[in-house]
Amino acid sequence: MLITIDHNDRRPIYEQVAAGIKSLIAGGALREGAELPPVRQIAADLGVNLNTVATAYRELASLGLIQIRHGQRAVVASKRSLDNNKGDLRKRLRTSLTELSLAGLSRPEILNWVSDELAGLLK
């Protein structure tokens, strides 16, 4: 599982770990029912505290993206569990698009960025 940590990123490391796993799920690298590596293994691979990875797993579980089975590994849940969050997702998309517009990007530039990110995500 390929997750990277950017120490120059302002986000906490647990958020970066969670974002990396979200990206792998969204891109299809981690499919429904796939087992995630143990917290200890990811922590060792990334050189971070295991509590940091455990926090990322708990966040993903609270979003319904993974299920944590105590005594076993965490597994990827169905993407369908996001159906209840579509309104929230749309608000977050609008916020991101607003930020891009406020940064001075034109409509074609924003569309290119979105297209490039989708292409990278769904490759």
Q: Do 73 and 88 belong together in one domain?
A: no
User: Is residue 6 situated within a structural domain?
Assistant: no
Indicate whether this model's pTM tops 0.95.
Answer: no
Q: Do 63 and 18 belong together in one domain?
A: yes
Residues 6+ apart with CB under 8 A from 97: 110
> Over the stretch 26-49, which tens digit does the pLDDT of each residue have?
888 999 999 999 999 999 999 999
User: Is residue 1 situated within a structural domain?
Assistant: no
Count of domains observed in the chain = 2
pLDDT (0 to 100) of residue 107:
95
pLDDT (0 to 100) of residue 71:
75
Domain that includes residue 107, residue range: 84-121
Cα dihedral 4, 14, 11, 25 in deg (nearest 10): 60
CA–centroid distance for 94 within its chain: 18
Q: Do 50 and 90 belong together in one domain?
A: no
The enclosing domain of 53 has a CATH number of 1.10.10.10
**Residue in the block written with tokens 């597994």:** 75
